[in-house]
Amino acid sequence: MIISTSASNLKGTDTGLWLEELAAPYYAFKDAKFDVVIASINGGAIPIDQGSVSDPFFSDDSKKFLHDGEAIGALCHSVKVDTIDFEKENYDAIFMPGGHGTCVDFNNNATLKKAIETTYAAGRIVSSVCHGPNCFVDCVKPNGDAFVKGETVTGFTNSEEATVQKTDLVPYLLETKFIEQGANFEKGDDWTSKVCVSNNIVTGQNPQSSMEVATTVISILNMVKA
């Protein structure tokens, strides 16, 4: 299951889903013969950050996605996440793409929090990329620890946030927040792919990491099923 933001505005700035971070994993999962469900916080049409469909960020997977009737249909009619019972539905993995919209509705979201905690506790894969890991900040492990405490994770870095000039817009810097919560935060060079695997948590640093996150999740799932 891919769970996206539904937010289109961050403190007066247009935003939404960063399309590459959903499109590339969507095709990776489909090509690996997994059934893919697209969900979102509010359900229905998912807003796309227009920056992600502009050069030089408009990737081949994003272009393919926008011309794919089935894919666009799923994006426009996404499942509302609070209609899913994650204790009964045995999804192999959940994946949260980013976009600055996640800074609005991935925080203080009881439904998403429960989905993540339930999936993690069941030993299934919880994965995310770029700003998507905002959804982990409020989560806890079964023992009550912060979700990322003691885990090796990554996400959109402080330097990358400064480069896109949104440091003053986001509720917190993800890198700083994770370190405060006791995570081992790893990062590569800005705008290069970096993926971390820690227990059943898979995280990617930035849009360039979206495909590697997906292929890493697929590899783990294939090993489990082997």
pLDDT in tens, 170-226: 999 999 999 999 999 999 999 999 999 999 999 999 999 999 999 999 999 999 877
Distance separating alpha carbons of residues 30 and 45, to the nearest angstrom:
21
Helix (H) or strand (E) segment spanning residue 153: strand 152-153
Q: Does the predicted TM-score (pTM) go above 0.75?
A: yes
CA pair distance 94, 109, nearest whole angstrom: 16
Q: Is the peptide bond before 56 cis (omega within 30 degrees of 0)?
A: yes
Reply yes or no on whether the pLDDT at 90 is more than 90. no
Residue extents of the structural domains in the chain: 2-225
- Return the CATH fold of 2-225: Rossmann fold (3.40.50)
